Structure 1
Amino acid sequence: MSLPGTQRRIVLARRPRGVPIEDDFRTETTALPSPGPGETLVRTVHLSLDPYVRGTLTGRDLGHPPVHPGELVPGRALAQVVDTGEWVVAETGWQEYAAVPASSPRPLPVPSGVPRTAALGVLGMPGLTAYAAVSRLLRPEVGDTVVVSSATGAVGGTAGQLAGLAGARTVAIAGGPDKCRVAVERLGYAAAVDRHDPDWLDALAEACPDGVDGYLHMAGGAVLGGVLNRLAAGARVVLCGLPDNANETGPTALPAGAVMRARATVHGLVVHDHQDLLPRFADRVGRLVAEGRVRVLEDTHEGLGSAPAAFCRLMAGRNIGKTIVHVARGDGRTPGPADAGEPGG
């Protein structure tokens, strides 16, 4: 693999205020990273964009150090080891090449016939998050009503499918009619509620006539309050994402009265606490994806330069599926205008 003398990388230009905008980031051209002792050079091919990154930009993420202006934006990617061409999952950050500890890249956990980018979504951290939420915390039984907010995102799309396969009747909460249509037609939800509709609470009541037995929360505070006021007795609630807090647009308050009335159990989910599920998750969900029983849904973008706009789109809730930036091609090419397609495939 021939190497260029320089590379592009994206750094934080300034601390975001509210939902990030493109001007919060800056593209730089730097020398190619030089691996030190115990390191290896990898080429970023498919870059994962994840909501946790927003917390790192303000120093509030539980599992990653804060990012300061001028520093590289963190991120996980499917990459190729320069010396061997081996495909790995590595913490590259938003850049074209990265020198990483030789022991840190992981082989791709993707069954034959499954797109390798699934290792960043349904078979990666978002998929493990969904699996932990459903199998360990929500524990749906046949006939339960399970509601998922941000239902067409990387975590929600997988969680809804897993809950449905467990026998639950699944109800999506999503932003806009297009997402609601995707939720029902492509992800198998029994019903979908558009949170932008002024009458969404009435639609939720109609979709959940016997109450909500399980709820996976990844939306704003208004949605949390609306769903918790529909809880059935003994409901399980999983708090997985708090976008209002992440974007610093206001705190999300838990309606204690609704929890008490339902005698509900509320769990805070941080995926790092559930690494023990990895082998079971990889086997179970890997087989479901390979068999076509769990669908892969991706929101794709072309070229490293598209990462800031794609991340802003993600944090504004405009993505459908797992957000991935194709930084390079497996054949060594850098994506150009001829490769570009509509996001949301």
Structure 2
Amino acid sequence: MTSTTGQSSGTTPQSLRRIVLARRPEGVPVEEDFRLETVPVTPPGPGEVLVRAVHLSLDPWVRGAMTGRNLGHPPIHPGDLVPGRSIAQVVDTGAWVVAETGWQEYATVPADSLKPVTVPPGVPRTAVLGALGTPGLTAYAAINRHLRPVIGDTVVISSATGAVGGMAGQLARLAGARTVALVGGKAKVELATEYFGYAAAVDRHDPEWAEALAAACPDGVHGYLHMAGGEVLRGVANLLATHARVSLCGLPEHSNEVGGETVLPAGAVMRSRATVHGMVVYDHFDLRPEFAARVGRLLTEGRVRLLEDEHHGLESTPRAFGRLMAGLNTGKAIVHLDPDTSDN
């Protein structure tokens, strides 16, 4: 791994733009749920530094924080800065760091909260927000601790071209499993097979998707990573093989508060004698060194591929976030805040 460094990012600004929650979203967030503000910069105090956000990560957990359902962040209310992680530069030194900046151009943060940006040679620094960040660790833990695929297994991944799903599918394939993608839309079917290497892909928007999935999994489903709605969970559960493993990783209907509660089909679980895990990535932070070394090597060797859903400018963030929560993104959602800053 190598650290990326830079020159000083400039003089201290007097003001910054930020995005706050304007109102509590109903369903998938829309642009009107947010407000762009200009406020004075808070000068750093003892033990603090000012950083300039450059690449902002958009993550589904933020939607959960808007409803008070996120385990790692307190609820956010109208008028609050929307939380978020960025690759940023320390204003005084230009050093590249990962910082909890929120959706804003500059942030004053504790110096000891910063993490240096470290990536393998030839890998873009934005990988620390996706493949080498929390989404990648989530995928790594789900595959290695929950689904544990072996040669001959069939592993189904929902949201299979997203930040977690794209990595999880590739890791399962490298473990010897036959991987099947569940995606939303015909374009993602092609992306899943041609870009990520899934053996088959099924469009969950197709009225006959359940039949198509059954045809793609003639030996049943040995491992399933769930990041979709309740209808999808029921459909996959009906195909579980004996002693299947299931990882419940994402519940978008709960986050967006649409479609009612996602219910685990108890009969299907009992019939297959399946093991069901709840995925909370905070439980797997002990895997970080192993994960970083393994996935970093795979990236360097070109055995796993990155995909980013890129947006530009702070003002594009609300729309990009709505796109993410509607399941329209392909790959890791990132907003580049500075058009003059290259990725490396």
Q: Shared fold (TM-score greater than 0.5)? A: yes
1:313 partner amino acid: R
Looking at structure 2, the residues matched to 314 and 109 of structure 1 have their Cα atoms a distance apart, in angstroms, of 26
In structure 2, C-alpha distance between the alignment counterparts of 1:260 and 1:109, rounded to whole Å: 45
Query: Which residue of the partner structure matches residue 98 of structure 2?
Result: 89
C-alpha spacing 1:327/1:225, structure 2 compared with 1 (3 Å): same
- When normalised by structure 1's length, the TM-score is 0.95
For 1:270 and 1:181, the matched residues in 2 are separated by: 30
Counterpart of 2:292 in structure 1 is: 282
Quote the residue 1:315 is aligned against: 325
Alignment correspondent of 1:210? 219
From 94, 101, 120, the counterpart of 2:129: 120
1:131-177, Cα deviation, whole Å (9 max, x unpaired): 00001111000110000000000000000000000000000000011
Partner of 2:7: none
CA distance in 2, matches of 1:261, 1:107: 48
- Structure 1 Cα separation of the partners of residues 217 and 161 of structure 2: 19
Aligned 1:188-267 pairs, distance under 5 A: 188-249=197-258, 250-267=260-277
Given that residues 312 and 339 in structure 2 are in contact (C-alpha distance below 8 angstroms), is that contact kept between their aligned partners in structure 1?
no
Mapped partners of 1:136, 1:100: distance in 2: 34
Q: Is the 8 A contact 1:18 1:248 kept in 2?
A: yes
TM-score (norm 2): 0.95
Q: Given that residues 109 and 282 in structure 1 are in contact (C-alpha distance below 8 angstroms), is that contact kept between their aligned partners in structure 2?
A: no
The aligned amino acid for 1:173 is L
1:6 equivalent to 2:10? Answer no
Aligned partners of 1:280 and 1:84: how far apart in 2?
30
Superposition deviation, residue 44 in structure 1: 0.2
* Cα displacement (A) at 1:19: 1.1
Give the counterpart of 2:64 among 55, 61, 77. 55
Residues 161 and 188 of structure 1 are in contact (CA less than 8 Å); yes or no, is this contact kept in structure 2?
Answer: yes
1:144 to 131, 153, 161: 153
Q: Is contact 1:215-1:238 (8 Å) kept?
A: yes
One-letter amino acid matched to 1:64 = H
Match of 1:296 in 2: 306
Counterpart secondary structure, 2:170 = helix
Counterparts of 1:321 and 1:200, CA distance in 2: 22
1:153 corresponds to which of 154, 162, 168: 162
Unmatched runs of 5 consecutive residues or more in structure 1: 333-345
What's the counterpart of residue 142 of structure 2? Answer: 133
Structure 2 regions of 5+ residues with no counterpart?
A: 1-9
Q: Confirm or deny: 8 A CA contact 2:22 2:35 kept in the other structure.
A: yes
> What value does the CA root-mean-square deviation take over the aligned residues?
0.9
How far has the Cα of 1:330 moved from its partner? Answer: 6.2
Answer yes or no: is the 8 Å Cα contact 1:33–1:97 preserved in 2.
no
Q: Match for 2:66: what amino acid?
A: L
Q: 1:341 is matched with which residue?
A: none
Instruction: Name the CA distance, whole Å, in 1 between partners of 2:125 and 2:70.
Output: 27
1:63-86 Cα distance to aligned partner (Å, 9 max, x none): 101111001000001000111100
Q: How does 1:73-88 map to 2 (within 5 A)?
A: 73-88=82-97
Tell me if the contact between 1:109 and 1:123 (Cα under 8 Å) persists in the aligned partners: no
